[in-house]
Chain A
């Protein structure tokens, strides 16, 4: 039992580190598309984090939260891609 909880905290640590690294690119990213890609990865890591949290607390409701976050991520990235192109065309 302790082995699995230790494994879960290791997985939490790995995904948290992934979120921190994506956030580093979100802050540093030289161009706007870099930041869009970093935000996309950040949301995917958040959805995975929520899913692991659902596993570790044994609450299956949180998987729905991960699904909604994944859907919103897709829409947000598509909207950002359109915005990047339109902003360059307007200038």
Chain B
């Protein structure tokens, strides 16, 4: 039973990692590459660590695998946010077919000041 679960999780994790790498090669700009790579690689290493937990079935290994999964679920969004933020400031271009860039013109990359939305009316009580 644990052999079957181990094999299933191993293949799922490797498939997620392969999808992440495909996304990072095929996607058109940095931000879509990041959303492919970050989420899929988190799922991939999570499934691989679950496979290790099922394979050894030992409290020490299970605790370590769960710690790694928790660590990745906490740190991968932080890393992606930091890289996306700094690369937006640097001026990495978006894909030419991108439909919306809500920060354009409202963000000062030197002082990091964000202006409010001038078009939006103040919220009213309904």
Complex Cα spacing A41 to B49, Å? 16
User: Is B72 within 8 A of A70, CB to CB?
Assistant: yes
Overall SS of chain A's interface = helix
With A21-B25, A55-B51, A64-B64 as given contacts, are A80 and B83 in contact (CB-CB < 8 Å)? yes
Output the least CB separation between A15 and chain B (Å): 5
Q: Is the CB of A60 within 8 A of B45?
A: no
Q: Which residues of B contact A31 (CB under 8 A)?
A: 30, 87, 90, 92
The interface size bin for chain A is 35 or more
Inter-subunit contact A44/B44 (CB<8 Å): yes
The answer to whether A37 touches B41 (Cβ under 8 A) is no
The answer, among B24, B51, B78, B89, for a CB contact under 8 Å with A41, is: B24
Q: Which residues in A have their C-beta under 8 angstroms from that of B89?
A: 85, 88
Binding site for B on A (CB under 8 A): 4, 7-8, 10-11, 14-15, 17-22, 24-25, 31-34, 36-38, 40-41, 44-45, 47-48, 51-52, 54-55, 60, 63-64, 66-67, 70-71, 74, 77-78, 80-82, 84-85, 88-89
Show 22 A/B contacts (Cβ-Cβ < 8 Å), sorted by A: A11-B11, A11-B13, A17-B18, A18-B17, A21-B22, A22-B24, A25-B33, A32-B90, A33-B30, A33-B86, A33-B90, A33-B92, A34-B92, A36-B83, A37-B30, A38-B37, A45-B41, A48-B44, A52-B14, A64-B64, A85-B85, A89-B110
